[in-house]
Amino acid sequence: MSPKQPRDATNLFAAAGMEQDAPHPLPDRLRPRTLADVVGQDHILGPDGALTRMLETRTLGSLVFWGPPGTGKTTVARLLADATELHFEQISAVFSGVADLKKAFDAARARRETGKGTLLFVDEVHRFNRAQQDSFLPVMEDGTVVLVGATTENPSFELNAALLSRARVLVFHSLDTAAIERLFVNAEKIEGKNLPLDAEARAVLVRMADGDGRASLTLAEEVWRAARKGEVFNAEQLQAILQRRAPIYDKSADGHYNLISALHKSVRGSDPDAALYYLARMLDAGEDPLFLARRVVRMAVEDIGLADPQALAVCNAAKDAYDFLGSPEGELAIAQAVVYLATAPKSNAVYTAFGAAMQTAKQGGSLLPPKHILNSPTKLMKSEGYGSGYQYDHDAPDAFSGQDYFPEALGRQTFYDPPDRGFEREIRKRLDYWNRLRKERGGS
């Protein structure tokens, strides 16, 4: 039996109906060639944008690009180098170390001696540790490189203060619907055919892109690959074909804090529908329901307080229900608590009062309470006046003596000022009544 002959690679591609030299991916083919081609970042690249002004005045300094994936950070850095006639050098903090940085700095110094400047683009710059970030400072200060760092994380938390003081932070926004649509139109021109989607499916595809330009073009390319001749997909078919792109949500990054903040403020703003939406967003993205339950309890004590004393009980019960039922049934209990809080009367009076009391306590030092409310278990303490003159409130008219309980050196303070809302309306009446009695009985 004769040995098998190697199969021709060309025949393999032909048999599969594919070109041997396949075209570049759609995002690569649609990569902007000039800064004017970049979509979705008009606030920095428009006529009055920050980068536009820098280029017009030829005052390009070191920059940090902060924004989500697929918003054009790498592309803009490369085009900036072209526009300023700087050599473009790119490194990634994920794969680079001290040796790579030294090599890049040495090459930039050598290039500078020939009259050529360097734009050093550092992707994921936040992944460099503090010492590595400090190594950029000398070459930024002496002009060896113009540093452009890109990060998806909040620079205020992830980058050295020294580095941030030498670089301007420019925020890249997620692409809005209009920007994604522009990309689709440009893609259709390149492909010479329309996306095989009905109007609803096209809108769904825009949402699936989640503000990521690169992802939007990758998804569009998948749609074209999946469509048979003459086929047009509706929204349900589109989701079945693409298996839906997972939401962008990093439980340790800004997306996490942005959504929990949105949930909290929606509850505070008495908007149960918005609150349910953000709760659903976080649960759908895989957030720990017990984390959400803890935050809901905090909302009860911070924003509802005694305007509805039941709020805290409802939220603790929701946490217990989730512990008992687990997911997904227990998540409904958390949703119920969120709606309860959003529709409850609001008060931060206890929250504010506690903060004021803490501040006064820290400033006042170790002041002794008035002697009439101190215990006197020994003869010496009695002789010093401990407990002398104390009035037992239950024996007083209306069970209220009106005595002062603050340290004499501090004087009477008012921290808790309940609003005329919810149950605190009743508390307000009680406090006003006791204050009137206090004045009548000679208290301060």
Task: Give the C-alpha separation, 422 to 431, whole Å.
Answer: 15
pLDDT above 60: residue 309: yes
Residue 300, in any domain of the structure = yes
Same domain membership, residue 53 and residue 167: yes
Residue 248, in any domain of the structure = no
Residue 384 belongs to domain spanning: 367-440
Structural domain count, the chain: 3
Task: Give the C-alpha separation, 409 to 373, whole Å.
Answer: 15
Q: What is the pLDDT of residue 248?
A: 56
Residue 178, in any domain of the structure = no
Q: Which helix (H) or strand (E) holds 279?
A: helix 272-284
What confidence category does residue 339 fall into, taking pLDDT thresholds of 50, 70 and 90?
very high
DSSP 383-443: HTTTTTT---GGGSGGG------S-TTT---------SSTTHHHHHHHHHHHHHHHHHTT-
Same domain membership, residue 264 and residue 332: yes
Residue 357, in any domain of the structure = no
pLDDT tens digits along 76-96: 999 999 988 999 999 998 888
Q: Which CATH number belongs to the domain containing residue 280 in this structure?
A: 1.20.272.10
Same domain membership, residue 155 and residue 65: yes
Same domain membership, residue 132 and residue 47: yes
Among residues 144, 171, 198, the one where a domain terminates is 171
Residue pointed to by tokens 């070109």: 19
Among candidates 60, 64, 248, 259, which has minimal Cα distance to 156?
64
Same domain membership, residue 164 and residue 50: yes
Among residues 119, 153, 171, the one where a domain terminates is 171
Among residues 114, 145, 171, the one where a domain terminates is 171
Task: Give the C-alpha separation, 243 to 197, whole Å.
Answer: 16
Q: What is the pLDDT of residue 14?
A: 45
Q: What is the pLDDT of residue 245?
A: 52
Residue 212, in any domain of the structure = no
Residue 145, in any domain of the structure = yes
Helix orientation angle between 199-209 and 213-226, rounded to the nearest 10 degrees: 140
Q: What is the mean pLDDT of the chain?
A: 87
Same domain membership, residue 414 and residue 321: no
Q: The dihedral of CA 231, 235, 237, 241: what is its sign? A: positive
Same domain membership, residue 320 and residue 378: no
Tokens of 76: 């803009």
Q: What is the pLDDT of residue 4?
A: 47
Share of the chain above pLDDT 90, in %: 46
Q: Which CATH number belongs to the domain containing residue 373 in this structure?
A: 1.10.3710
Residue 348, in any domain of the structure = no
Q: What are phi and psi of 276, to 5 degrees?
A: -65, -35
pLDDT tens digits along 369-412: 888 888 888 878 788 888 888 888 898 888 988 888 888 888 88
Same domain membership, residue 53 and residue 158: yes
Share of the chain above pLDDT 70, in %: 91
Q: What is the pTM of this model?
A: 0.62
Same domain membership, residue 332 and residue 396: no
Q: Which helix (H) or strand (E) holds 123?
A: strand 118-123
Same domain membership, residue 405 and residue 315: no
pLDDT above 90: residue 277: yes
Same domain membership, residue 336 and residue 373: no
Q: Which helix (H) or strand (E) holds 270?
A: none
Q: What is the pLDDT of residue 410?
A: 86
pLDDT tens digits along 202-229: 988 988 888 899 989 999 999 999 988 8
Q: Which CATH number belongs to the domain containing residue 118 in this structure?
A: 3.40.50.300
Q: What is the pLDDT of residue 48?
A: 86
**Contact, 264 vs 294, CB < 8 A?**
no
Same domain membership, residue 339 and residue 371: no
Residue 205, in any domain of the structure = no
